[in-house]
Amino acid sequence: METILVTGGTGLIGNGIQSIAGDYSQYNIVFMSSACCDLRDYEKTLAYFSLKKPSYVIHLAANVGGLYKNMNNKVGMFEDNTSINNNVVKASHEVGVQDMVCCLSTCIFPDRTTYPINETMLHDGEPHSSNYPYAYSKRMLEVVCRAYSEQYNRNYKCVIPTNIYGPHDNFSLRDSHVIPGLIHKCFLAKQHSVPFVVCGTGSPLRQFIYSVDLAKLIMWTLFEYNESGPIILSGRPDDEISIKEVATLIAKQFDYSENIQFDSSFADGQYKKTADNSKLLSLFHEPDNTPLETGLEKTITWFNEHYKHVRK
């Protein structure tokens, strides 16, 4: 039985893949967590990969966080992610992995560009100043995958999802991405009968994808996507929604809609990063994406049921 090794296998996307693993019962899928191995250490990474002998790798592991973590931990975000990415790709090659999918982010795209952004524009300019160390590290993951593919005839490919959310996310009030942070903040605001304060004006626009939907697309990419270059995994550009609208939907789920405030003393970050999924649609049928309101309901239900044990 061939093995699929999933780094970051206990995180948000990893759990999404776990939820559909039954559809791939012909494979031994190993969901690797940070407790298994420190991927920043190459010798440990190589030893773990040599032990598991994967035929396929899905590389999800990363030091990740929201806007304020990226702004306040620039060196750590660059160094950790660069080490993790280089080690995973090199170890995969050394143990003979032919097919690998690596996960990038829309934050890697240029700040000053035209919209919607497509895959050909990845290296056309500087990323936004708020997260450039993380963004450059992720850009270099695309570069090293391309280099190994060209030099050694590997099939190492990169996916670029839009903003991911769902159960098993990190709901930290300080370091999370926008949706889990807002969910936790609204939960506490209602508990303590205080305003639900959203950092920033709420005007930035984002595209979101539910973690299970992304998991299905990643598995399709692993086995079916053989085109050159990275591929954006998202809904249509017109699915874009403002942070204010997202916060309103979350407050509605908590029945706390009358208590939202926006604190404009906080930075908004990049205003928009609209991604074009035309390449995906040319190769794959229309993705069956979970509507945002439905995905939020599922995520909030899971959060409420598991509050004592969620990452926060």
Could you give the residue numbers annotated as active site?
Answer: 134
CA distance 67 to 200: 11
Place of tokens 């660059």: 78
CA distance 310 to 168: 7
Q: Strands 196-199 and 260-263, how do they pair? A: parallel
Residue 275 near residue 237 (C-beta atoms within 8 A): yes
Residue 230 near residue 104 (C-beta atoms within 8 A): yes
CA distance 212 to 243: 22
Characterise 34 by phi-psi region: left (phi > 0), alpha (psi -120 to 50), beta (else). alpha
Residue 214 near residue 169 (C-beta atoms within 8 A): no
